[in-house]
Amino acid sequence: MKRKLSITTSIHGQTDLIEEIITSFPEGGRIADIGTGSGLAARLFHDAGWEVSATGFDMEAYLDGHSLPDGVRVLADVDICDANQFEDGEFDAIWCAHVLEHVSNTGSALEELRRILKPEGWLFIAVPPYKDKVVGGHVNTGWNLGTLMYVLADAGFDLSGGRFIHHGYNVFGMVQRGPGRISNGSLHRANGDIEILAKAKRFPAGFPAKQGFDGRLPSVNWRWNRPPEDIPVPRADLANPPGIAPMKIGFFVPWITKGKGGTENVGQMMANAMAARGHDVTVFTFDDTKAPSRWPLDSSIALVHLTEAEGPPADHRMAVEVAGRNLDLLVGLHMNRTMLRYVRCAHKIGLPLVLSEHGDPRTTDWIGTFDPDERAIAMAGATLIHLLLDDFVETLDRSARAKARVIPNTIPEPETVSNVAKEKNRYVLLSVSRLVPRKNLSRLITAFAQVADDFPAWDLRLVGNGPQMSVLKAQARAAGLESRVEFSGELDDVYSQYRDADLFVTPSQFEAFGLTLCEAMAHGVPSIGLSACRGINRQIIDGRNGILCDGGDGLNSLDAALKTLMSDPELRVQYGNAAREDFLARYSNDVVFAAWEELFVEAAERPSALERPSHETLMSVRLWEAVWGQLPATKD
């Protein structure tokens, strides 16, 4: 049976890439649109003056009654592995988007694409990123930039002047026809092949291709001649991956105009990620001054300022404001009794609600901002519950545990990583956090003081502000380390600190999920943390990407862990590489954004079910009535 060219849809980022090609190649030429689908690419290339030949499988169904422009040559049902309708060297360029995942014999398909290109012709190729869900017709599991480059290099294309980017739902590259496959028998489909291709200059210029290189890269040699923000992208072109309909989502992000805390950071990432995936997003915050967001929000996101007042009148105004947005779903981020306001609002207007906690549930009880009864009632009112760790599911009332979904956080992915392997005159031991007691930075200074004389080329750098600043500075002076303990304060560009770092330490005693640890992992920096800290002990895998210690004075102490890694550059490189791999596999934007979206889709499809907590945790009927209004209380 012939392998037919598949159909590509207008997915997020595709228009940007086509416009970039048109800008980069203003002379145009003859182009084959392989897998025409909805006809977006054929129309745009034709309008820009290219001579377009369009082909695809079942074209009439996918064009849905919309004809292609006059002058576009249409050839239906061409076999990508045997495109005999086209002559050798017929085209100046080929646009092939979201086709290879439908082709069993990728090598044959790429060989045929090379055949129909002119000697200096260009292939513009997009494939989808890896995803866990199995989709009908997708016989390849998914891609990243590294695998795409390797496959193209192996197929004989010239990548030396190529550009690659993971943009939207596209792993994309533009490469020239090239000299063809290496045919001297030196490639064995085994270790060493990548190095042979690199020596033959088949990879992008300057790219350090070698066995086991990290393929999940945001870009390689990419530059925008026409940046996406300057391109008017129609909403139809911001569609979600196939099967996900756009939703109207409202996010409660409590103090996004007043501070840059962890909850606000995660909230803006959630909002921006859903906007980028084609959803209509509104952010609600509490601010009488109506200040702008401290975190950058996508230009399509509406920021709504709610009153900072509390009580029934304020709750009523809040419900009216939210109801007027005609939303499909509410998402409430917080770790205190403000969550009860989200529940009241969702209950009044009949919307599904996701409650999202971004900390250790024990902490709020200890500091008195959210006692277990209040939390149990709030969680009973949620349609679904987002938690950061599996351990936290057990803190929920038994009746609410089935509604829990565990998804870690993510962070903005860095464009460059730390060079831990580089020899330096000075080495940086980095910690990034608020300077508050629970972060345990006093213990870090003590540990550094114990090893400082043995490692005179190392400095400790503390990034962040907080009430302990003066106390910690005095401690460093008392230890004779004033010149080697640097207090950098709060920085706008904290990623520059990770790029300089050789080792990261997070001595915090309580973390649900270490965002700064996640940032260190993303930069390929090895880390040290406390084994007793839930969250940290899930991110650091002892002996793989860092060291977990007990924080005391014994063999497994913090200073012993410092000595181990400060004295062993090869081990730092090994752990740093593993940290980067673990970030990409567990905490990357692709992984977490997709999981968030699945959570929101699931919640939006559920009815707005409001459940009473079990009597074991419901200690206060008054509190119940404060949340639920005049619902009758159940007597035990």
> Which tokens go with 475?
């401690």
Same domain, 531 and 622: no
Q: Is residue 5 part of a domain?
A: no
Distance CA 423, CA 252 (A): 47
Q: Is residue 9 part of a domain?
A: no
Q: Which residues contact 61 (CB under 8 A, 6 or more apart)?
A: none
Same domain, 158 and 19: yes
> Which tokens go with 379?
């969680």
Sheet strands (E) in 106-205: 117-127, 158-167, 170-176
Same domain, 120 and 263: no
Q: Which residues contact 96 (CB under 8 A, 6 or more apart)?
A: 34, 35, 113, 123, 124, 125, 126
Does residue 229 or residue 377 have the better pLDDT? Answer: 377
pLDDT, tens digit, 9 for 90 and up, residues 22-44: 999 999 999 999 988 878 899 99
- Quickly tell me which residue has 């020899």 as its tokens: 423
Q: Quote the pLDDT of residue 230.
A: 37
* Model confidence at 518: pLDDT above 50: yes
Question: Residues 612-622: what's their mean pLDDT?
Answer: 47
Q: Is residue 559 part of a domain?
A: yes
Q: Quote the pLDDT of residue 535.
A: 82
* Model confidence at 8: pLDDT above 70: no
Q: Is residue 436 part of a domain?
A: yes
Residue where a domain stops, chosen among 214, 236, 258? 236
Confidence at 274, pLDDT banded by 50, 70, 90: very high
Same domain, 110 and 225: yes
Same domain, 543 and 617: no
> Which tokens go with 147?
């695998």
Same domain, 524 and 607: no
Lowest mean pLDDT among 74-78, 154-158, 228-232, 538-542: 228-232
Same domain, 215 and 299: no
Same domain, 545 and 619: no
Same domain, 615 and 564: no
Type and span of the H or E element at 264: helix 262-276
How many separate domains does the chain show? 3
Q: Quote the pLDDT of residue 73.
A: 93
| Residues of the chain above pLDDT 90, percent | 51
Does residue 374 or residue 75 have the better pLDDT? Answer: 75
* Model confidence at 58: pLDDT above 70: no
Lowest mean pLDDT among 168-182, 299-313, 619-633: 619-633
Q: Quote the pLDDT of residue 238.
A: 34
Q: Which residues contact 328 (CB under 8 A, 6 or more apart)?
A: 247, 248, 249, 351, 352, 604
* Model confidence at 365: pLDDT above 70: no
* Model confidence at 81: pLDDT above 60: yes
CATH number for the domain spanning 260: value is 3.40.50.2000
* Model confidence at 630: pLDDT above 60: no
Q: Is residue 368 part of a domain?
A: yes
pLDDT, tens digit, 9 for 90 and up, residues 334-348: 767 788 889 989 988
CATH number for the domain spanning 111: value is 3.40.50.150
Which span out of 125-129, 283-287, 536-540 was modeled with the highest average pLDDT?
A: 283-287
| CB crowding 571-605: b at 16 or more within 10 Å, else e | ebbebbbbbbbbbbeebbbbbbbbbbbebbbebbe
Same domain, 508 and 580: yes
Whether 6 and 100 have beta carbons less than 8 Å apart is answered as no
Q: Is residue 3 part of a domain?
A: no
Q: Quote the pLDDT of residue 252.
A: 96
Confidence at 636, pLDDT banded by 50, 70, 90: very low
Residue where a domain stops, chosen among 236, 266, 293? 236
Same domain, 462 and 569: yes
| Residues of the chain above pLDDT 70, percent | 86
Same domain, 173 and 297: no
Q: Is residue 7 part of a domain?
A: no
* Model confidence at 47: pLDDT above 80: yes
Residue where a domain stops, chosen among 216, 236, 256? 236
| CB crowding 555-566: b at 16 or more within 10 Å, else e | eebbbbbbbebb
Q: Quote the pLDDT of residue 7.
A: 35
Question: Residues 60-65: what's their mean pLDDT?
Answer: 54
Q: Quote the pLDDT of residue 363.
A: 66
Q: Quote the pLDDT of residue 11.
A: 66
pLDDT, tens digit, 9 for 90 and up, residues 195-252: 999 999 899 887 888 888 878 777 888 888 877 653 333 333 333 444 468 899 999 9
* Model confidence at 457: pLDDT above 50: yes
Distance CA 560, CA 558 (A): 5
The average confidence (pLDDT) of the chain is 85
* Model confidence at 168: pLDDT above 80: no
Whether 524 and 580 have beta carbons less than 8 Å apart is answered as yes
Does residue 609 or residue 594 have the better pLDDT? Answer: 594
Distance CA 168, CA 15 (A): 10
Q: Quote the pLDDT of residue 629.
A: 53
Q: Is residue 419 part of a domain?
A: no
CA angle 414, 420, 424 (to 5 degrees): 125
Q: Quote the pLDDT of residue 279.
A: 94
Q: Quote the pLDDT of residue 376.
A: 84
Lowest mean pLDDT among 319-333, 375-389, 515-529, 597-611: 597-611
* Model confidence at 94: pLDDT above 90: yes
pLDDT, tens digit, 9 for 90 and up, residues 414-449: 888 898 988 899 999 999 999 999 899 999 999 999
* Model confidence at 6: pLDDT above 80: no
* Model confidence at 350: pLDDT above 80: yes
Q: Quote the pLDDT of residue 367.
A: 59
Confidence at 103, pLDDT banded by 50, 70, 90: very high
> Residue 577 sits in which domain range?
427-587
